[in-house]
Structure 1
Amino acid sequence: MKLLNRVAAVVLGAKLVTLAVNLVTFPRLKPGGRVKAARVSLLIPARNEEGNLARNLPALMRQGASEVMVLDDQSSDATAAVARAAGAAVLAGTPLPAGWRGKNWACHQLARAARGDVLVFTDADVQWSPGALDAVVTQLQDTGAGLVSVFPRQRNESMGERLLTPLVDNVLLSLFPAPLLRVPSAAASAANGQVMVFRREAYQQSGGHAGVRGELLEDVQLGRKVKGSGERLALALGADLIGVRMYGSYPQSVVGFAKSLPGFHGNSRAVMLASWALYFITYTLPLFHRHGRPLLVAALLEGLLVRRITGRTKPADLLELLLTPFLPLLALPVFQRASRKEVEWKGRKYAQDRRL
């Protein structure tokens, strides 16, 4: 048990140091940006997204983009009709070619049709507040980056949403110190497909979505390719300007996270198993022995710092901290589902090349 305690202490110590760094250095979007002349294309891949588009597309239409385009990816609902009613240009997606993932193919089609100098890819469930587009384009221009990727603020409402989605912030902010982006290596990259803002030249030079056509974790790979092509990669938190409701329930969260989990672990079942075991040792096991109290305090401090950095400090957000020791158990179905030979997303099944 002493050895396991030491392991947990090392993990939590490293994560707390990283969070302290990110508390000071991680960029946040700010309102009031001054955009130099640029033609901006807002591009939204959509498959069965009538509900999200009805809620979020009107705000996107008011952002002042040169064009707003929705790719209807062979939806079986009213996605296209809702998008047209809001005033967006609607493209009818063509059948998915062999070797492509659905979102990558949709984004590839959007990029080919777009006329902007700046390509802004955003998911249908992302919520854009007034001035958000100016802020992200200003970030792109001020940093001189080829790609700015934004991590929206989680705007969870139901209890089911709160069980797993906060882990998105935790993974980024406690494991990836923002200054690491300055390292020239493409491996020192992170990105989030919910909001990806490219200079068109950087997008084309990196190979765009065609270069990651078979990836389910396409966002991280795109970030690496942009950086590997010699362009700068920049990140930002959405703060008050860009938010998201990723999943409406715990079961939806399990399915959604299981899609991406293998890519984070090199498509290896053994690595996923080791990752979950370390997670259990660090956060759950301290509940069951008398020397675990300092570890539990450190874990709660970790969660508190994550919420301080992201600005999620409402009482309901802070109450999520009480779930901390139980998160490995809540995440177990995600790991189990991710270990299958096939993953399913948006009604499509993809075979996974699994390693032991």
Structure 2
Amino acid sequence: MPHPFFSRVASVLPWALLGAKLGTLALNAALFPRLRPAPPAPHHRRDLQTARTSILMPARDEAHNLHHSLPGLLSQGAAEVLVLDDHSQDGTAELARALGATVLPGQPLPPGWAGKNWACHQLAGAARGDLLLFVDADVQWQPGTLDALLHQLDASGADLLSIFPRQANVTWGERLLTPVIDDVLLSGLPAPLLKIPSPLASAANGQTMLFRRAAYRASGGHAGVRAELLEDVQLSRRVKASGGRVALALGGDLIGVRMYRSYPESVRGLSKSMLRFYQGSRPLLLLSWALFFLTYTRPLFRSQRGLLLLGLLEGGLVRVVTGRTRPRDLLEVLLTPLLPLLALPVYARALQREVEWKGRTYRQDTSR
């Protein structure tokens, strides 16, 4: 029989957690920046800004995404669009070249580097622009997006502007887990915290990261996070540590992404950096799942309607804030009580000593 103290804690914690998350959501609904079309500006000024920008895409076996993403990137008017072909086996280089991008052949991966970081490091070395825009191959751009990004960069005064694209989930398999990413951001990170100079008050999303070159260089760039699987967050911290500013925004109608195309792919993708998200601590990782279960799944078995409704409300608000309000997007909310169970394979893979991604194996810290 559980000790009364632990029973009391198990009863109170879910209410406290959901209360804090809903409060953060309400704050972010009002304050979290959204990417919007840039206001009218003289053409010569806008052309000057875009001419300073290098769009840089690391790509490893991304032919299935390039048809959807690369044409939108090439139409933005940037000084250059460089694609680093990281030893693809699916015709990525040929397709990117046929669509009009400049393709760089990737060099062999040196010891101690994660694949994406090495690819981005090579891209930064080849880029000519004063502004470096790193973008993943699965990100889809609408006309005028680069203008909007440059306007947001100037308006925020940031040295690093990172965007969280709107998720474009299609199949139910990919809808099971990926919406959790939006929840972690919007219910876990109050927007005003980003204005604090401390490097710990930082976040970023490697899918879209726009750097001023001087800030990128001062932070150490991807070379400074060469072995990191959570390189985007670590880069944002290094930018702040070197005196720069970091800003975030939601992609809104301008930037979307289809991250994964099945439940197994979601499990592999989300697990690769989860342990690092918890600072390499396996006990903390396990504790987070236990709290996850107590808050969202246990109420289903104990008929705790209040907690269940708050969990559903949280999921609905996240989708409203991100603009994912189509009927199928909203139906995802009904999966909320099952999310801890659906996420079990993610946690199990994250606990392993090695994780695999895109045909490469990375050893994780086993000290904790």
TM-score (normalised: structure 1): 0.98
Rounded to whole Å, the distance in 1 between the matches of 2:300 and 2:67 is 44
Extract structure 1 runs of 4+ deviating beyond 3 A: 33-36
Rounded to whole Å, the distance in 1 between the matches of 2:280 and 2:324 is 32
- Residue 236 of structure 1 aligns to a residue whose secondary structure is strand
Structure 1 contact 19–173 (Cα < 8 Å) conserved: yes
Rounded to whole Å, the distance in 2 between the matches of 1:122 and 1:185 is 26
Structure 2 contact 166–255 (Cα < 8 Å) conserved: yes
What aligned pairs does 1:10-29 form with structure 2 within 5 A after superposition? 10-29=16-35
Structure 1 contact 343–351 (Cα < 8 Å) conserved: yes
- Residue 44 of structure 1 aligns to a residue whose secondary structure is strand
Residues 179-208 of structure 1: per-residue CA shift (max 9 Å, x gap): 001111010001000000001111111111
Rounded to whole Å, the distance in 1 between the matches of 2:178 and 2:142 is 21
What aligned pairs does 1:1-356 form with structure 2 within 5 A after superposition? 1-33=7-39, 34=41, 37-38=48-49, 39-290=52-303, 292-356=304-368
**Shift of the alpha carbon at 1:68?**
0.4
Q: Which amino acid aligns with 2:313?
A: L
Structure 1 contact 44–124 (Cα < 8 Å) conserved: yes
**Shift of the alpha carbon at 1:304?**
1.0
**Shift of the alpha carbon at 1:268?**
1.7
Runs of 5+ consecutive residues of structure 2 not aligned to the other structure: 1-6
Residues 113-170 of structure 1: per-residue CA shift (max 9 Å, x gap): 0000110000000000111111111111221110000000001010001000000100
How many residues were matched structurally?
355
Rounded to whole Å, the distance in 2 between the matches of 1:30 and 1:332 is 37
TM-score (normalised: structure 2): 0.95
Rounded to whole Å, the distance in 1 between the matches of 2:162 and 2:117 is 16
- Residue 96 of structure 1 aligns to a residue whose secondary structure is coil
Moved more, 261-270 or 173-182: 261-270
Rounded to whole Å, the distance in 2 between the matches of 1:172 and 1:277 is 20
RMSD, aligned α-carbons: 1.0
- Residue 230 of structure 1 aligns to a residue whose secondary structure is coil
**Shift of the alpha carbon at 1:2?**
4.4
- Residue 91 of structure 1 aligns to a residue whose secondary structure is strand
Q: Which amino acid aligns with 2:161?
A: V
Rounded to whole Å, the distance in 1 between the matches of 2:334 and 2:21 is 19
Moved more, 14-23 or 262-271: 262-271
Q: Which amino acid aligns with 1:156?
A: N
Q: Which amino acid aligns with 2:77?
A: G
Rounded to whole Å, the distance in 2 between the matches of 1:133 and 1:293 is 45
Structure 1 contact 151–195 (Cα < 8 Å) conserved: yes
Structure 2 contact 174–263 (Cα < 8 Å) conserved: yes
Rounded to whole Å, the distance in 2 between the matches of 1:241 and 1:343 is 33
Structure 2 contact 38–151 (Cα < 8 Å) conserved: no
- Residue 121 of structure 1 aligns to a residue whose secondary structure is strand
Rounded to whole Å, the distance in 1 between the matches of 2:118 and 2:154 is 27
Percent of residue pairs identical: 63
- Residue 98 of structure 1 aligns to a residue whose secondary structure is coil
